[in-house]
Amino acid sequence: MMQKLVITAAVNGAEVTREQTPYVPITPKEIAAAAIEAAAAGASIIHVHARQDDGTATQNKEVYREIIERIRENSNVIVQVSTGGSVGMTAQERTEVISLAPEMATLSTGTVNFGAGVFYNSLEMICDFAIRMKQYQVRPEIEVFDVGMIANAVDLVNRGLLASPMHFDLVLGVPGAIPAEISHLMHMVASLPCGSTWTAAGIGRSQLPIATAAILLGGHVRVGLEDNIYYSKGRLAVSNAELVERVVRLTKEIGRDIATPDEARRIVSISPCT
């Protein structure tokens, strides 16, 4: 029997602007409202990026603190902070947030072209991020944008820097990284170490097909405005919750159940399996 589906809502990202969509949450208050609404719709993990009030990406710890506290006041959802930040940020900036000891944080295990930029993650940086997460007991979600990054993550397990089983986010469709083809998704899944859990995130118009494939393959799903701002061709998604609701409908039609935040904690090994 398939595990219940863990839905991650990636509510804002670092790159999406108000010019692209008026619905992207920016301030801690807006981000928390979007997170709580997405959780009520069925998301059990919220992946979040901090922003300054003018919309610029920031990794400022105090902004993250406010976001987490505002979400916590009204929801039991898992808050997963970004350590990716935006292209060009220093390792020091990106890791500041780990000392808040959030429940979860992303850990990208390789360097990749990211549109016109380069998302830089040297081995030294990856090891340092992993050590800090271990120190603060933060559960890493291993973000892989290409298949070689899976082998890098296994290398970190062998060095004793990451715990096994790992939880992966397989991101497909970033320009410059692995394209969003179902065959690539299947190859990535087949390349994961035994016992891993995984979620899949398709970028742009691939969000829905990749989510549908992940539901069928027994993985988990990430949707949200960070990865895709449209509900359908030419029609903006009016909220993160709207994208989550569609995944919930599809999943139930197929006969799979949706995980609550506490069930998701067990599935992705934040708390021990019972």
Query: Measured between alpha carbons, how far is 268 from 264 in angstroms, rounded to an integer?
Result: 6
For residue 196 the two structure tokens come to 């891993």
Write the CB contacts of 133 (distance below 8 Å, at least 6 apart in sequence): 98, 105, 107, 139, 140
Q: Which residue has the tokens 């895709």?
A: 228
Which segment (1-9, 76-84, 182-190, 196-204) binds ligand KMH by CB under 6 A?
Answer: 76-84
Which segment (35-43, 81-89, 216-224, 232-240) binds Zn ion by CB under 5 A?
Answer: 81-89
Q: Report how far Cα 78 is from the mean position of its chain's Cα atoms.
A: 11
Q: Of 51, 52, 50, 39, whose CA–CA distance to 9 is shortest?
A: 39
Write the CB contacts of 134 (distance below 8 Å, at least 6 apart in sequence): 161, 162, 163
From the CB of 14, what's the least distance to Zn ion, in Å?
7
Asked if 146 touches ligand KMH (CB under 6 A), the answer is no
Strands (E), 96-248: 104-108, 112-114, 117-119, 139-144, 167-172, 197-202, 220-223, 230-232, 235-236
Asked if 75 touches Zn ion (CB under 5 A), the answer is no
83-142 binders of ligand KMH (CB under 6 A): 83-84, 86-87, 106, 108, 114, 119
Residue with Cβ nearer ligand KMH (44 or 106): 106
Asked if 168 touches ligand KMH (CB under 6 A), the answer is no
SS3 for 26-90 is CCHHHHHHHHHHHHHHCCCEEEECCECCCCCECCCHHHHHHHHHHHHHHCCCEEEECCCCCCCCC
Query: Measured between alpha carbons, how far is 148 from 232 in angstroms, rounded to an integer?
Result: 32
User: Binding partner of residue 169 among Zn ion, ligand KMH, none, CB under 5 to 8 Å per kind?
Assistant: none
From the CB of 145, what's the least distance to ligand KMH, in Å?
8
Measured distance between the N- and C-terminal CA atoms of the chain, rounded to whole angstroms: 16
User: Binding partner of residue 83 among ligand KMH, Zn ion, none, CB under 5 to 8 Å per kind?
Assistant: ligand KMH
Which segment (17-25, 58-66, 77-85, 157-165) binds ligand KMH by CB under 6 A?
Answer: 77-85
Site string for Zn ion, 160-199 (x = CB under 5 A): ----------------------------------------
From the CB of 80, what's the least distance to Zn ion, in Å?
9
Residue with Cβ nearer Zn ion (82 or 196): 82
Which segment (9-17, 155-163, 192-200, 253-261) binds ligand KMH by CB under 6 A?
Answer: 9-17
Q: Which residue is nearest to Zn ion (CB)?
A: 82
Query: Measured between alpha carbons, how far is 165 from 213 in angstroms, rounded to an integer?
Result: 22
For residue 127 the two structure tokens come to 């090891």
Asked if 59 touches ligand KMH (CB under 6 A), the answer is no
Asked if 227 touches ligand KMH (CB under 6 A), the answer is no
What residues make contact with Zn ion under the rule CB under 5 A? 82
What residues make contact with ligand KMH under the rule CB under 6 A? 13-15, 82-84, 86-87, 106, 108, 114, 119, 143
